[in-house]
């Protein structure tokens, strides 16, 4: 990945940070985007200390705001003159509630961040990649972008949309050397998932985690590093022909019908 320029949104923690670590090891230059300024500064400082040989830029942006997305793209182009990869990862889960009782403001917020945030990223990065005749894009969907998930209507709707938009970008821009895929993580132990376990069992979130892991064929939750490695492949030149796919990384769980033994 030496000399490649990769943008990662939602880079301050969780899956974005895990991918940043893997890509930094592989010597990519990074543009790290997040709206959590303190957390992003901490992340960037620690990555810069560990990897003084690569360039790391940080841009504070809320991906649900079009002009802030345009700005992170402009900053990347001004500094590096190109964008080789976009990891469109920032997203939120929202609150858990049945479909008919879902809070409408939260519903709209989830759509604004998970769907519109990914779309704005595509809208502003693709023209840059088109000029280069090269680009790799990874959008983060979820198993909730393949299946229904109880009490998560806007999340599931937004993640199905991300999967659909990834196919769309793949078919419209493949002729410009741009390969676009979505990934569909299952339960990967990040701060977002830890928060979900707190909602399921506020008294004992660890018990909710253990219970959840039992359902997986591997009997475990996923490691953010594993997702980072999949992203690193899809966003590199090693990926020569995979495009328009939604690739599950979930220990096989989305293939299972019925309960684990």
Which residues are marked as active site? 155
Q: Which stretch binds ligand NAD (CB under 6 A): 70-78, 89-97, 124-132, 252-260?
A: 89-97
Is residue 121 at the binding interface for ligand NAD, with CB under 6 A as the rule?
Answer: no
5: nearest Cα among 86, 91, 101, 67: 86
How many CB atoms are located within 10 Å of the residue 89 CB? 29
Q: Which stretch binds ligand NAD (CB under 6 A): 13-21, 69-77, 126-134, 198-206?
A: 13-21
Tell me the residue ranges of DSSP E strands in the chain: 5-9, 29-34, 56-60, 85-88, 135-140, 178-185, 246-249
Is residue 190 at the binding interface for ligand NAD, with CB under 6 A as the rule?
Answer: yes
215: nearest Cα among 143, 121, 154: 143
Is residue 117 at the binding interface for ligand NAD, with CB under 6 A as the rule?
Answer: yes
| Of 6, 16, 173, 208, the one binding ligand NAD by CB under 6 A | 16
Q: Residue written as tokens 């018990």?
A: 207
32: phi then psi, degrees, rounded to nearest 5: -100, 125
Q: Which stretch binds ligand NAD (CB under 6 A): 57-65, 76-84, 121-129, 146-154?
A: 57-65
| Of 1, 59, 92, 111, the one binding ligand NAD by CB under 6 A | 92
Is residue 13 at the binding interface for ligand NAD, with CB under 6 A as the rule?
Answer: yes
Is residue 191 at the binding interface for ligand NAD, with CB under 6 A as the rule?
Answer: yes
Helices 14-25, 224-234: inter-axial angle, 10-degree rounding: 60
Which value, in Å, is the radius of gyration of the alpha carbons in the chain?
18
State the Cα–Cα distance between residues 209 and 61, nearest whole angstrom. Answer: 31
Evaluate whether 181 touches 242 at the Cβ level (below 8 Å): yes
- Nearer CB in complex with ligand NAD: 76/188: 188
Q: Which stretch binds ligand NAD (CB under 6 A): 29-37, 99-107, 125-133, 171-179?
A: 29-37
- Nearer CB in complex with ligand NAD: 13/169: 13
Interface contacts to ligand NAD, rule CB under 6 A: 9-10, 12-16, 34-36, 39, 62-64, 89-92, 113, 117, 140, 142, 185, 187-188, 190-193
């Amino acid at each position: 990945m030496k000399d490649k320029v990769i943008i990662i949104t939602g880079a301050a923690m969780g899956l974005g940070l895990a991918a940043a670590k893997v890509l930094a090891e592989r010597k990519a230059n990074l543009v790290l985007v997040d709206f959590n300024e303190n957390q992003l500064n901490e992340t960037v400082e620690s990555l810069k200390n560990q990897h003084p040989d690569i360039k790391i830029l940080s841009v504070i942006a809320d991906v649900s705001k079009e002009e802030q997305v345009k700005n992170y793209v402009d900053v990347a182009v001004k500094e590096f003159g190109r964008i080789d990869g976009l990891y469109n990862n920032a997203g939120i889960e929202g609150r858990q509630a049945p479909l008919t009782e879902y809070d409408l403001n939260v519903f709209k917020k989830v759509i604004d961040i998970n769907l519109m945030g990914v779309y704005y990223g595509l809208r502003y990065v693709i023209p840059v990649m088109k000029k280069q005749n090269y680009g790799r894009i990874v959008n983060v969907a979820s198993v909730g972008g393949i299946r229904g998930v109880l009490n998560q209507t806007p999340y599931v709707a937004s993640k199905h949309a991300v999967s659909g938009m990834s196919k769309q970008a793949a078919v419209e821009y493949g002729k410009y050397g741009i390969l676009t895929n979505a990934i569909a993580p299952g339960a990967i132990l990040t701060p977002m998932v830890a928060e979900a376990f707190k909602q399921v069992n506020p008294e004992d979130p660890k018990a909710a985690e253990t219970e959840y892991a039992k359902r997986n064929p591997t009997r475990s939750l996923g490691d953010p590093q594993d997702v980072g490695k999949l992203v690193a492949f899809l966003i590199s030149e090693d990926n020569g022909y995979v495009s328009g796919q939604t690739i599950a990384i979930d220990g096989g769980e989305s293939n299972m019908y019925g309960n684990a033994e």
